[in-house]
Structure 1
């Protein structure tokens, strides 16, 4: 079968974005020498279409293309269900039109692999765990390692924001008392995983059968973490979680150390799940920061965004007389949207920067 026919099937297929928290329905046409081959072709095309909503293919490099080729080769493994709408023989084989249910659950194999490919356009992430001692270093290291294993290549060393901790500024950010837009710009961070760690240990007692309790040689080490994942450019909270654990040992130091190790792994699991959920959201939120004194210029940029195919729900979230924050839902990457804005000749504006899913526009 010629490749042109295959892509004709994509263009002719009706895209049904009936997305739930765990799947995306896509209707496509598949071709092959027989029915089974045509259905497999349709399933592969459905997976390819879903991947296209995650990744701008123009940004792919060789390593990412190899990863995508492996996904395509195992495409049927990412399909939950296929329903044939119509089928029949053609002059050179068989054609099937089917609705394919592609698994986009945050923990699915497909999303796991797509998350790894996100290194091609991945954000800069900083992990900072607030603690009164040095124990937070372990949690930060474990979470950083997990993010790197997921494929994020721009994981920022916490030492880069050490001065913020010294100034107790992150404490204010955690409690929502400080705007973080300028801080994010200064440190070049797109997301921050900001958590608080608390630890203690208790001697374990048992009943003495005389109406009281007696000490044992065992100690319970207790550790708890609460965290927020924040977009550094806008201050939006994209995820929160809390975890706690208790480990028994024969000394306070050993019990607390074991509890800390266990807690760090649990926290890393939660961070991974949160970022996978973001990756699994087909229509992602794109932030457009407009530098403009005149509110009319902000509205002109908003109108330009609404005129771009594939963009929905453009909102002007904030305008303080100098800058405005626009938010829109789109299946396209920030890079693609920025390119379309650059080509718009009806509005006097220039794209001055792209970071993760945020575009900065000058419209003065």
Structure 2
């Protein structure tokens, strides 16, 4: 009996050692360098690059080259589970190694996680252009260089969002009545501003910091940052939150900055999470606006036709008046695919005039 238990235990231990490698991808590569160490490092980088090519499409790699290269070239050893040197050749000024490498491609690995985020950004959100505007105040005084806003932008960039509006483009409008109106929920102002900046998503809010205590020569400040994500083509708010931060320093100004930075980092993480969740939802909302509709009978006919389109899950007629009907559609694929289907409807003739990341403009023809 004891011998049987020993055999089972050894088998389980062996299995636990094999399972991680079974979930890895094995590749055979060559590496070059002035020394053996350099050649091995080059081989490991090449192995990770080769594994990356099986995880995401080439277009995603090209558009996110800087992020992917940073992951590969600075952290390649962290993605490698094991390697074996098959052969080694040394020549004057160069060493060449051939290695068999196990690259971690588990869903939970850091490499796969980053690449999955890049793929969601590219396919689920269609590589969006994002603007971040967070006016900040310490007590009632405006802060010229917002720390919370900067921290949020850094988090978005680190997650793989590459098309963020340069902070220099918005610094002159951060404290204007337009931004104040958007923060207060003015949808028309939000849509107009987003359109003028060519945005797909607008992250807007405001932050406040206050002095909370003074002890042992150190000043403590607290901050609260509130923000929301607005879809630029529909005005839909897809996420909103308010988070806190604290900071301690001998300078009240720096303590306030530290508090705002902490709140901004938390909000940046939250916004990345919500954008990824939105990107991962297979059913995206597409808003269809049709002009030239002469009767409600045409609206009903269009509604029924839409329900027959492949990939359409639900259809909601939101408004009809003045010859214009607005319809929200839960759709599985990209808006451009839906636009192609709309121009092939059997009982209705639509001419597509404009397509955005989640909206279609059209005119009904007779």
TM bin, normalised by shorter chain, reads 0.5 to 0.7
| Kept in 2: contact 1:124–1:188 (CA 8 A) | yes
Residues 151/217 of structure 1: CA separation in 2 closer, same or farther (3 Å cut): closer
Deviation at 1:314, TM superposition (A): 0.6
SS in 2 for 1:155: coil
Q: Of 165, 177, 196, which residue of structure 2 is paired with 1:186?
A: 196
SS in 1 for 2:217: strand
After TM superposition, list the pairs within 5 Å mapping 1:166-185 onto structure 2.
167-179=176-188, 180-185=190-195
Inter-partner Cα distance in structure 2 for 1:248 and 1:333:
48
Residue 106 of structure 2 aligns to a residue whose secondary structure is helix
Deviation at 1:61, TM superposition (A): 6.7
Q: Which TM-score applies when normalising by structure 1? A: 0.62
RMSD between superposed Cα atoms in Å: 3.7
Tell me the CA shift for residue 203 of structure 1. 3.1
Structure 2 counterpart of 1:316: 317
Aligned position for 1:204: 214
CA-CA distance at 1:168 after TM superposition: 0.8
> Which of the residues 134, 137, 141 maps onto 2:143?
134
Match of 1:145 in 2: 154
Give the C-alpha shift of residue 109 in structure 1: 6.1
Secondary structure of the residue aligned to 1:77 is: coil
Match of 1:262 in 2: 262
Tell me the equivalent position of 2:107: 78
Deviations 1:154-198 (A, max 9, x none): 322355456754541222222224423344333322211111110
Between the two structures, name the one with larger relative contact order (CA 8 Å, sep ≥ 6). Answer: 1
Answer yes or no: is the 8 Å Cα contact 1:127–1:194 preserved in 2: yes
Instruction: Report the Cα distance in structure 2 between the residues aligned to 1:309 and 1:75, rounded to whole angstroms.
Output: 37
Aligned to 1:279, what secondary structure does the other structure show? helix
Is the partner of 1:233 in helix, strand or coil? Answer: coil
Check 1:320–1:171 CA distance in 2 against 1; reply closer, same or farther (3 A cut): farther
SS at match of 1:156: coil
Structure 2: gaps spanning 5 or more residues: 1-18, 24-55, 73-101
Q: Identify the residue that residue 87 of structure 1 maps to in structure 2.
A: none
CA–CA distance in 2 between the matches of 1:75 and 1:350? 49
Q: Structure 1, unaligned stretches of length 5 or more?
A: 1-35, 41-54, 80-102, 206-215
Partner of 1:234: 234
Residues 245 and 261 in structure 2, CA contact (< 8 A), matched pair in contact too: no
1:245–1:64: structure 2 CA closer, same or farther, 3 Å change rule?
Answer: closer
CA deviation string 1:271-325 (max 9, x = no partner) = 1111011012122222223334545454454334222112111111234536443
Measured in 1, the distance between the counterparts of 2:64 and 2:217 equals 57
CA distance in 1, matches of 2:317, 2:196: 24
Shift of 1:250: 1.9
* 1:362 and 2:363 matched: yes
Which of these two proteins has the greater Rg computed from alpha carbons? Answer: 2
Deviation at 1:332, TM superposition (A): 0.9
When the two structures are aligned, how many residues end up with a matched partner? 271
Q: Which residue of 1 aligns with 2:117?
A: 112
Q: CA deviation at 1:128?
A: 0.9
What CA distance in whole angstroms lies between the structure 1 residues aligned with 2:171 and 2:306?
A: 38
Contact 1:197 1:224 in 2 (8 A): yes
CA contact (8 A) 2:283 2:331 kept: yes
Q: Secondary structure at the match of 2:282?
A: coil
TM-score (norm 2): 0.62
CA distance in 2, matches of 1:74, 1:279: 27
Give distance in 1, aligned partners of 2:191 and 2:127. 19
Single out whichever of 282-291 and 137-146 deviates more from structure 2. 137-146
Cα gap change, 1:183 to 1:139, in 2 (>3 Å): same
Matching residue of 2:340: 339
Instruction: Find the aligned partners of 1:324 and 1:138 in 2 and give their Cα distance.
Output: 43
Q: Is the 8 A contact 1:193 1:227 kept in 2?
A: yes
Instruction: Give the CA deviation at 1:219.
Output: 0.8
- Per the alignment, do residues 361 and 164 of structure 1 end up closer, same or farther by CA in structure 2, a change over 3 Å counting? farther
Give the direction of change, closer, same or farther, for the CA distance of 1:162–1:110 in structure 2 (3 Å limit): closer
